[in-house]
């Protein structure tokens, strides 16, 4: 089998790349190790930056997003039992975020690719990449018990944190920057109407909590927990009790709506970046190159930003034999990646209880939160990062 761009992984990065290339007549093949149902069923990100929404709409993927996406003009930060709101439009010249599950983005992308009769193969696991130094690299993959070869001009490694693309790059070429956090998130999806119009990020003496949503009838909530904790240790009742305690406030009323829990899982938290994001004819994009803790809601948005840059670089190469975009790909992406790393790390440090923290550290967190929600300069910084920095951010 032959194509121009061989794409490994059908997450947001791989599917969007294939879609944007096809709009410009560039051929690609997407190989995905999991089944279509599994890829759609995964519960993951929920918040789309303005730039992500604009990209999806411009690519003809705005239909359901416009009807079902929930536009949010702010978030609440809750600390010491007091809630303070950050208003996005007034602080960012009108920008907002949209709550629309990653699952929905994936459904829209798969539908668009299949309607265009794309070469999108599920249960097709890439096992090896060969000849990256040559102008015809080959991806070896297994489908239906048979071994296959995909010959391409370039390989896009969109295969997430556990994929093979990053591991195909010689060790001495890559530098890894990594931080593991001493806590995890227990996440639940529940048949309960959201308890607030906006997301609530809570710092409490028992740890972090987040109230989020997927639709007017589905809530998504998270609790900070021990990374070694087992989800089996948490009964539904305990989860609701802990959430309602952590989301309680001293002033004003708040009632946590409860309902049937339809999914629950524990996710580890890490920051991870690999440099560079290109090796010869292999380009890494999304979680294969970088992971952020979910506190800043940046993971999927970073994957989409990489693809905006990579798709343009491929288009310039094929339409105008211009290699500038390909040559600067890694550097361009990494600047924005590190800005998002900083923001995600900062939000994580601000809101979680660290095992070694003493009373002084907690008081400092409260002062940071007070400042971040009072000072115009600090509020503007939080808001402009949360709604997403421009691709060529100049301040």
Catalytic residue among 121, 279, 329, 386: 386
Which residue in 20, 164, 261, 274 binds ligand RFL (CB under 6 A)? 164
Taking CB under 6 A as the rule, does residue 7 contact ligand RFL? no
What track of x and - describes contact with ligand RFL for positions 193 through 212 (by CB under 6 A)?
Answer: --------------------
Which residue in 6, 46, 207, 388 binds ligand RFL (CB under 6 A)? 46
Span near ligand RFL by CB under 6 A; candidates 88-96, 110-118, 251-259, 286-294 = 286-294
Taking CB under 6 A as the rule, does residue 192 contact ligand RFL? no
Tell me the torsion sign for CA atoms 7, 9, 13, 16: positive
Q: Which residue has the tokens 């910084």?
A: 381
- For residue 228, the SS3 value is coil
Residue 295 interacts with which of ligand PHB, ligand RFL, none, CB < 5 to 8 Å by class: ligand PHB
Q: Is 72 a catalytic residue?
A: yes
Per the CB < 8 A criterion, the answer to whether 262 and 219 are in contact is no
Per the CB < 8 A criterion, the answer to whether 104 and 46 are in contact is no
Measured from the CB of residue 235, what is the shortest distance to ligand RFL in angstroms? Answer: 21
Measured from the CB of residue 67, what is the shortest distance to ligand RFL in angstroms? Answer: 20
Judged by beta carbon, residue 168 or residue 212, the one nearer ligand PHB is: 212
> Where on the chain is the footprint of ligand PHB (CB under 6 A)?
45-47, 199, 212, 220, 294-295, 297
Taking CB under 6 A as the rule, does residue 159 contact ligand RFL? yes
Tell me the torsion sign for CA atoms 91, 92, 98, 103: negative
Q: Is 298 a catalytic residue?
A: yes
Measured from the CB of residue 275, what is the shortest distance to ligand RFL in angstroms? Answer: 17
Taking CB under 6 A as the rule, does residue 301 contact ligand RFL? yes
Tell me the torsion sign for CA atoms 313, 317, 320, 325: positive
Taking CB under 6 A as the rule, does residue 267 contact ligand RFL? yes
Taking CB under 6 A as the rule, does residue 108 contact ligand RFL? no
C-alpha 380/C-alpha 86 separation (Å) is: 9
Distance between alpha carbon 389 and the CA centroid of its chain, in Å?
15
- For residue 321, the SS3 value is coil
C-alpha 16/C-alpha 308 separation (Å) is: 9
Angle, alpha carbons 268-52-84 (nearest 5°): 65
Catalytic residue among 181, 201, 222, 329: 201
Strands of the 138-143 sheet, one edge to the other = 124-130, 138-143, 146-151
Hey, what long-range contacts does 242-246 have (CB within 8 A, 24 or more apart)?
242/206, 242/209, 243/209, 243/211, 245/204, 245/206, 246/202, 246/204, 246/206, 246/207, 246/208, 246/209
Which residue in 126, 192, 213, 313 binds ligand RFL (CB under 6 A)? 126
Q: What residues are annotated to the active site?
A: 72, 201, 294, 298, 386
Chain residues that interact with ligand RFL, rule: CB under 6 A: 8-14, 31-34, 39, 44-47, 102, 125-126, 158-160, 162-164, 185, 187, 267, 286-287, 294, 297-301, 303
């Amino acid at each position: 089998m032959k194509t121009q761009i061989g794409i490994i992984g059908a997450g947001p990065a791989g599917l969007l790349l294939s879609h944007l290339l096809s709009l410009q007549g560039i051929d690609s093949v997407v190989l995905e190790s999991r089944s279509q149902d599994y890829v759609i069923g995964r519960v993951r990100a929920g918040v789309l930056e303005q730039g992500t929404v604009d990209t999806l709409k411009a690519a003809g993927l705005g239909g359901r997003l416009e009807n079902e996406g929930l536009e949010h003009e702010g978030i609440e930060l809750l600390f010491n039992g007091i809630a303070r709101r950050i208003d996005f439009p007034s602080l960012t010249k009108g920008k907002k975020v949209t709550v629309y599950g990653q699952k929905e983005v994936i459904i829209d992308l798969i539908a668009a690719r299949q309607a265009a009769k794309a070469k999108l193969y599920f249960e097709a696991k890439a096992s090896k990449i060969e000849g990256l130094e040559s102008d015809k690299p080959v991806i070896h993959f297994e489908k239906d018990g048979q071994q296959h070869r995909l010959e391409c001009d370039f390989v896009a490694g969109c295969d997430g944190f556990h994929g093979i693309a990053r591991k195909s790059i010689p060790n001495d070429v890559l530098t890894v920057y990594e931080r593991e956090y001493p806590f995890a998130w227990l996440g639940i999806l529940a048949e309960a109407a959201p308890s607030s119009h906006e997301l609530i990020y809570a710092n409490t003496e028992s740890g972090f909590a987040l109230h989020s949503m997927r639709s007017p009838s589905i809530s998504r909530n998270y609790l900070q927990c021990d990374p070694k904790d087992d989800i089996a240790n948490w009964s539904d009742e305990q989860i609701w009790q802990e959430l309602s305690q952590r989301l309680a406030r001293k002033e004003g009323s708040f009632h946590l709506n409860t309902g049937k829990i339809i999914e629950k899982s524990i996710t580890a938290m890490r920051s991870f970046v690999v440099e560079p994001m290109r090796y010869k004819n292999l380009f890494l994009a999304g979680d294969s190159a970088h992971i952020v803790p979910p506190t800043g809601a940046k993971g999927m948005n970073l994957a989409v930003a990489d693809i905006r840059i990579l798709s343009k670089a491929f288009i310039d190469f094929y339409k105008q034999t211009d290699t500038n975009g390909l040559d600067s790909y890694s550097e361009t992406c990494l600047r924005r990646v590190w800005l998002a790393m900083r923001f995600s790390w900062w939000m994580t440090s601000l809101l979680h209880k660290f095992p070694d923290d003493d009373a002084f550290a907690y008081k400092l967190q409260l002062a940071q939160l007070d400042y971040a929600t009072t000072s115009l300069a600090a509020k503007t910084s939080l808001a402009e990062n949360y709604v997403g920095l421009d691709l060529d951010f100049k301040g």
